Amino acid sequence: MCGIVGYAGKDRAAPVLLDGLQKLEYRGYDSAGVAVFEGNSLRIVKKKGRVKELEGARSLCGRVGIGHTRWATHGAPSEKNAHPHAYKQFALVHNGIIENADALREECLARGETFLSETDSEVVVHLIAACYAGDFGAAVRAAAKRLKGSYALAVLCSDFPDTVLCARQSSPLVVGKGRGGLFVASDLPAIAGEGVEVFALADGEFATLRGEEISFFDGEGKPVPPHAVAYRFREDVPEKRGYAHFMKKEMSEIPAVMAKNAAAFLESPAFSSFRRALLGAERIQIVACGTAYHAGLCAAHAFEKLCRVPCEANIASEYRYRDPIVPPNTLCLAVSQSGETADTLAAAQIAKERGAYLAAVTNVAYSSLTRLADAVLQTEAGREVAVAATKSFNAQLMLLYGVAAYLAREKGRKAPPLGAMAKAARLALSAAEEVRGWTAHFLAAKSVFFVGRGADYFTALEGSLKLKEITYLPSEGYPAGELKHGALALIEENTPVVAVVTQKGLAEKTMNAVHEAYARGAKIFAVTDLPEVAACKEAFASVLLPPCPEEYSPAVAVIVLQALAYYVSVARGNDPDKPRNLAKSVTVE
Ligand code: G6P
């Protein structure tokens, strides 16, 4: 994780670096720092906390520099662990994890070197210094050969104060040229602009930013051709437009986003190739993390129910290490808002290597996942700023439901139309305002349960994840039928239990679990489209959802749970947009 930036050009570097870091803050906000050349000497400013803490560095005058916003892996969030890390004439910023850092640190300690931080990254700057004999590029390449793990690096050397050197292995890195300068960053939006050409570094490649040119090299120092990234520049400054938080604003966009995404896959430039793979698929494997995994669970349910094609959703970090079986005619759907999640990328790569046709379902057109995939099915959710995913989840669901409905019909089976879903979402959004009145019952809860069966269970999982992420309340999403096998022991007087009940055939069964919890003192909150459930005597409070086909109901019911998490988060005095310890894009294992 972490975001890195670098600049070498005609303008003052500090403002460019700080603006770039602001755009990368979704990758982590534990600490931030910059290093800028003032003449031949390096000025380093680092702070614990968010990028805005670095404002004092904006006045630095130098025209070459690097910057970093951190999501802590090795070492606590603190000023001393903040990047850039410096040693002798070098300073660097790093995104990734160096897996052999301990062994390398031992070597440095044996040479009598001392360390100022607990990070794996500081080891890299020591290693570069140890490999240095006057050739900056050769030192970085030699050091890179000894690193195990993942890294995107931007390095400065005070013997070459006009140069930024970059290296990449399994962590995203792009470089750009234009508007009088050369740029490097973890992600395109940090450097995109009118007239800026952007190039992606491949794994094992290096780039030198100097003067007016960027040069690209392989690990032996041989020049390699640049890989241009085509993108359409849109000045995309996220604004809250009167909402108190991005999360609330992004939720308000859900109905429009849902309307856009039901048929979005038909627009894919690779549609005919994807269609062949879809129609020929004997099984579907979905790989994803976090909220995207929950979208995968919902989609797998719809694929099996509507199309009768075996479909499994996999947590990407588990799939990649379980030696997965990928039989012939497997379609792999890798679902990822950012397209940069390290575990999802690795799982998708494995599925592809083992013969699956790989389709990326992602919100970011130029992401690493799109480069890996055979076909890209782009979700049209627009930029999502809040760390907790909301509208991107609904977009993923609608796109995947659209694919499932399409496949069902191609197989001569029936599938409910998706046309009325956006309207149902609009109604759910206004009904969800009722949960403001529920917050008092959640504020001090020791634990919260979300329960459901069938597709409702997946909604419960996502509702629980939202609550955990932004309120920090312990919560669990549970299959209603499993409650009695353990979790019931945690139910006490007034424990909030949120029951999601939209699957008509399973409603009675879910209600059995609700009765059991109620009998033990639980306070029941029902989220349902069944009037009889909303009005049942066990429900302390309920939100009545608009009707919608039960195969697709998570896309509507989840809106109420997103709102619940949001209002409880605000009532607890948290910033729902930037939950502690979390980042929007997780580019480390
Ligand atoms: C992080 C985010 C989650 C997200 C997950 C997967 O943990 O905080 O909101 O669901 O990564 O991200 P992706 O970009 O792959 O959908």
Residues 225 and 339 reside in one and the same domain = no
- Within a domain: 589: no
Of 298, 341, 387, 558, which is best to mutate to test ligand 1, by the most ligand atoms within 8 angstroms of its C-beta?
A: 341
- Within a domain: 266: yes
- pLDDT per residue as tens digits for the range 507-546: 999 999 999 999 999 999 999 999 999 999 999 999 999 9
- Within a domain: 586: no
Residue 467 in tokens: 């609550």
Q: What is the pLDDT of residue 73?
A: 84
For residue 275, give every residue at least 6 positions away whose Cβ sits within 8 Å of its Cβ, in sequence order, or none: none
Q: Is the CB of 585 under 6 A from ligand 1?
A: yes
How far is ligand 1, taken at its centre, from the CA of residue 341, in Å?
7
Q: What is the pLDDT of residue 72?
A: 86
The residue among 220, 236, 252 that closes a domain is 236
Residues 441 and 399 reside in one and the same domain = no
- Within a domain: 582: no
Contact status, residue 431 vs residue 560, Cβ threshold 8 Å: yes
What domain count does the chain have?
Answer: 3
For residue 124, give every residue at least 6 positions away whose Cβ sits within 8 Å of its Cβ, in sequence order, or none: 85, 92, 94, 98, 143, 147, 151, 153
pLDDT at 587 over 90: no
Q: Is the CB of 395 under 6 A from ligand 1?
A: no
Nearest protein Cα to ligand 1, atom 5: 290
Residues 383 and 503 reside in one and the same domain = no
Residues 427 and 415 reside in one and the same domain = no
Residues 388 and 360 reside in one and the same domain = yes
Domain harbouring 261, CATH code: 3.40.50.10490
Q: Is the CB of 584 under 6 A from ligand 1?
A: yes
Q: Is the CB of 81 under 6 A from ligand 1?
A: no
Residue entry with tokens 């290296």: 167
Sheet of 206-210, strand order = 85-87, 90-98, 149-157, 163-169, 206-210, 213-217
- Within a domain: 163: yes
Which amino acids are annotated catalytic? 2, 584
Nearest protein Cα to ligand 1, atom 8: 584
Domain boundaries, position 400: 242-419
- pLDDT per residue as tens digits for the range 231-274: 877 766 678 889 999 999 999 999 999 999 999 899 899 999 99
Contact status, residue 548 vs residue 424, Cβ threshold 8 Å: yes
Residues 257 and 351 reside in one and the same domain = yes
The residue among 194, 213, 236 that closes a domain is 236
Residues 517 and 415 reside in one and the same domain = no
Q: Is the CB of 306 under 6 A from ligand 1?
A: no
Residues 59 and 89 reside in one and the same domain = yes
Q: What is the pLDDT of residue 119?
A: 95
Find the farthest-apart pair of alpha carbons in the chain and give their distance in angstroms, rounded: 79
Residues 258 and 365 reside in one and the same domain = yes
The residue among 236, 268, 296 that closes a domain is 236
Q: What is the reported pTM?
A: 0.90
Q: What is the pLDDT of residue 444?
A: 85
Residues 435 and 556 reside in one and the same domain = yes
Q: What is the pLDDT of residue 437?
A: 96
Confidence of residue 583 (pLDDT cuts 50, 70, 90): confident
Residues 446 and 408 reside in one and the same domain = no
Of 585, 587, 588, 589, which is best to mutate to test ligand 1, by the most ligand atoms within 8 angstroms of its C-beta?
A: 585
The proportion of the chain whose per-residue pLDDT surpasses 90, expressed as a percent, equals 88
- Within a domain: 587: no
How far is ligand 1, taken at its centre, from the CA of residue 585, in Å?
6
Residues 66 and 85 reside in one and the same domain = yes
- Within a domain: 74: yes
pLDDT at 125 over 80: yes
Average pLDDT over residues 188-207: 92
- Within a domain: 585: no
Q: What is the pLDDT of residue 167?
A: 98
Domain harbouring 81, CATH code: 3.60.20.10
Confidence of residue 152 (pLDDT cuts 50, 70, 90): very high
